[in-house]
């Protein structure tokens, strides 16, 4: 908790804001633009505004979904419990439409992965689905990567401004102005213009015609367009987006869809990706057997290899949006601790075998925040359910054991993932997932404490566990995640096992 609180303070200092300032009593209606006032008092779009409201015991005015979440996240942990959220639920009901009390059913809808808390990705997804009329407030997370193609929507609740229009200066000549040039007429207001009354003083450059400052406006992007998509997806961002569906036999059909439409498709990949995935399988193969193989298949025998039979790519706008928001948050956290010995606070693991190999094929990951590709063994039907509706942490561990706690278990070795794979219609299945490791809780204990490790991630500063059984018993490393937003299931890989044999590691 302490580290994340320091991150929040560091983020504020990066923006140039002081720790605690008086709150401007005019709030979103403030029209003063002189530098002394702007630096002396906190305003609703400022990084330190919520902290200043808490210090001054004032109720804030919310101008984005992100600010609303940060108010509930009073300790800066990035994780909001039901009790935390209850404190601001009345405001959520006021801003939203037809949102009922925070009962068990609604909490389970919010905490859809069942891990007992929600992060900003889950909260943003909930408010998107409920159509709460505030900007998401993602512009600073994604920089200008996606906001540039959209108008700036006013974040003041009940303001109907959907596009920033700069408030013009009054022409000093008024009705006596003789200039007819289009440039002058568009730059300055005149008595016969509809915005003449609203234009006051010589300024206006940072004010919108709705009467609110430009910094209170944010990208109007929402739904499927709120984040960018990989350029190799059929649903890549920008013009020409289409909705593809897989027909029986592997053929795909494509139909145009609205740019903001949600999508979820499982699409066959080109032959070259099939070849690359077979090479990835071969390169991460090991003949080491473990107790998990004997437990799940009834035998210590290991396949001599695995042959990929089919691959489908999961293109799911909802799951990808949650993943991208979480990734952007981690990138911002890493940047915020840049001056606080980041190597000690955030150990980077660049030796993950699956990631090293896949990046050689052109896969673009942010390894500085421990973004990896990892295998997850499962069944064909479970893989499709995960791709459709995400991992469910409330069920985690029921099929794989709980050596490191109840989370989603992933591996860099195909052989380890295969231990958890189940056969359906003569094929075994694994998922190749993008994973956000973030701050890693490394564990090389022979008998780990699963409850303590879980708390380190669900209540502490860590985002995942790296269980190093190579060091303790010469087998495999496993990666355990507790937030579904940190895992994106991108490929469903069906394969067949080779001949079983008694390996050197057989007990």
Which tens digit of pLDDT belongs to each residue from 258-300? Answer: 445 789 999 999 999 999 999 999 999 999 999 999 998 889 9
| Residues pairing with 493 in the sheet | 311, 430
- Residue spans of the domains in the chain: they are 2-129, 282-501
pLDDT of 144 reads 40
Let me know: does 436 contact 333? Beta carbons within 8 Å.
no
- How do the residues of the chain divide into helix, strand and coil, expressed in percent and rounded to 5? 35, 20, 45
Q: How far is CA 201 from CA 168, 214, 331, in A?
A: 10, 17, 41
Let me know: does 421 contact 309? Beta carbons within 8 Å.
no
Contacts of 410 (CB under 8 A, 6+ apart): 374, 375, 376, 417, 433, 435, 478, 479, 480, 481, 487
Let me know: does 404 contact 467? Beta carbons within 8 Å.
yes
Buried b (16+ CB within 10 A) or exposed e, 376-389: bbbbbebbbebbee
Nearest to 386 by CA among 424, 430, 352: 430
Which tens digit of pLDDT belongs to each residue from 64-100? Answer: 888 889 889 988 878 899 999 998 899 888 888 888 9
Average pLDDT over residues 8-31: 63
DSSP assignments along 235-249, one per residue: T-SSTT-EEEEEPTT
CA end-to-end distance (rounded Å), the chain: 43
Average pLDDT over residues 9-32: 65
Angstrom distance (rounded) from CA 408 to CA 389: 15
pLDDT of 142 reads 66
To which CATH superfamily is domain 2-129 assigned?
Answer: EF-hand (1.10.238.10)
Average pLDDT over residues 96-112: 87
Which tens digit of pLDDT belongs to each residue from 411-447? Answer: 999 999 999 999 999 999 999 999 999 999 999 998 9
Q: Which residue has the higher pLDDT, 112 or 67?
A: 67
For 282-501, give the CATH class. Answer: alpha beta
Which tens digit of pLDDT belongs to each residue from 334-360? Answer: 887 765 555 556 889 999 999 999 888
Strands 440-443 and 464-468: parallel
Angstrom distance (rounded) from CA 61 to CA 157: 9
Let me know: does 64 contact 218? Beta carbons within 8 Å.
yes
Angstrom distance (rounded) from CA 121 to CA 482: 14
| Angle at 292 (CA atoms; ends 290, 293), nearest 5 degrees | 75
**By three-state DSSP, how is residue 305 classified?**
coil
Nearest to 376 by CA among 395, 357, 391, 359: 391
Contacts of 218 (CB under 8 A, 6+ apart): 63, 64, 135, 136, 137, 138, 139, 147, 152, 153, 155
Are 2-129 and 282-501 equal in CATH topology? no
Which tens digit of pLDDT belongs to each residue from 148-175? Answer: 444 555 555 555 666 666 667 778 788 8
User: Model confidence at 399, in pLDDT bands (50, 70, 90)?
Assistant: very low
Residue ranges in 211-316 assigned as alpha helix (H): 271-283, 291-297
Question: What's the longest Cα–Cα distance across the chain?
Answer: 98
Which tens digit of pLDDT belongs to each residue from 218-259? Answer: 544 555 666 788 888 987 654 333 333 332 223 333 333 344
Average pLDDT over residues 211-218: 54
Q: What is the model's pTM?
A: 0.75
Among 231-235, 323-327, 399-403, 475-479, the minimum mean pLDDT is found in 399-403
Q: Considering Cα of 480, then 483, then 484, then 489, what sign does the dihedral take?
A: negative
Q: How far is CA 495 from CA 265, 307, 391, in A?
A: 21, 5, 22
DSSP 8-state assignment for residue 365: -
**By three-state DSSP, how is residue 56 classified?**
helix
Angstrom distance (rounded) from CA 452 to CA 465: 11
Nearest to 310 by CA among 338, 271, 340, 337: 271
């Amino acid at each position: 908790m302490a580290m994340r609180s320091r991150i929040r303070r560091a983020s504020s200092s990066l923006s140039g804001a002081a720790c605690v300032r008086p709150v401007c009593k005019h709030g979103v209606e403030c029209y003063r633009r002189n530098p002394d006032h702007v630096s002396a008092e906190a305003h609703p779009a400022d990084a330190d505004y919520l902290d200043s409201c808490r210090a001054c015991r004032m109720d804030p005015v919310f101008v984005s979904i992100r600010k609303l979440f940060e108010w509930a996240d009073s300790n800066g942990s990035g994780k909001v419990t039901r009790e935390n959220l209850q404190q601001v639920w009345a405001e959520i009901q006021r801003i939203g439409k037809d949102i009922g009390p925070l009962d068990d059913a609604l909490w389970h809808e919010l905490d859809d992965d069942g891990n007992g808390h929600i992060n900003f990705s889950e909260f943003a997804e909930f408010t998107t689905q409920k159509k709460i009329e505030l900007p998401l407030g993602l512009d600073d997370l994604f920089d200008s990567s996606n906001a540039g193609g959209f108008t700036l929507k006013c974040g003041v609740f009940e303001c109907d401004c959907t596009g920033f229009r700069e408030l013009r200066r009054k022409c000093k000549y008024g009705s006596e102005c003789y200039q007819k040039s289009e440039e002058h007429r568009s730059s300055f207001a005149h008595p016969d213009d509809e915005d003449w009354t609203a234009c006051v003083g010589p300024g206006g450059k940072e004010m919108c015609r709705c009467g609110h400052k430009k910094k209170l406006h944010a990208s109007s992007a929402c739904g499927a367009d709120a984040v960018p998509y990989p350029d190799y997806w059929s649903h890549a961002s920008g013009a020409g987006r289409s909705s593809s569906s897989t027909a029986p036999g592997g053929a795909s059909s494509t139909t145009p869809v609205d740019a903001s439409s949600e999508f979820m498709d499982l699409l066959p990949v080109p032959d070259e990706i099939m070849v690359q995935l077979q090479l990835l399988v071969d390169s991460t193969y090991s003949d080491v057997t473990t107790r998990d193989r004997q437990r799940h298949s009834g035998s210590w025998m290991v396949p001599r290899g695995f042959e990929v039979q089919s691959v489908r790519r999961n293109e799911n706008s909802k799951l990808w949006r949650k993943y991208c928001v979480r990734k952007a948050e981690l990138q911002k956290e890493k940047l915020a601790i840049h001056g606080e010995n980041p190597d000690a606070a955030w150990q980077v693991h660049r030796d993950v075998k699956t990631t090293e190999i896949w990046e050689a094929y052109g896969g673009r990951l942010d390894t500085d925040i421990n973004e990896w590709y990892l295998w997850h063994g499962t069944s064909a039907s479970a893989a499709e359910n995960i791709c459709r509706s995400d991992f469910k942490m409330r069920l985690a561990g029921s099929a794989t054991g709980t050596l490191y706690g109840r989370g989603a278990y992933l591996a860099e070795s195909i052989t380890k993932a295969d231990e958890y794979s189940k056969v359906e219609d003569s094929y075994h299945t694994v998922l190749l997932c993008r994973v956000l490791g973030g701050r890693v809780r490394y564990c090389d204990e022979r008998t780990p404490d699963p409850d303590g490790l879980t708390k380190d991630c669900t209540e502490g500063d860590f985002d995942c566990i790296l269980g190093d059984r190579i060091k303790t018993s010469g087998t495999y490393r496993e990666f355990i995640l507790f937030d579904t937003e940190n895992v994106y299931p991108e490929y469903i890989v069906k394969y067949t096992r080779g001949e079983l044999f008694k390996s050197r590691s057989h007990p």
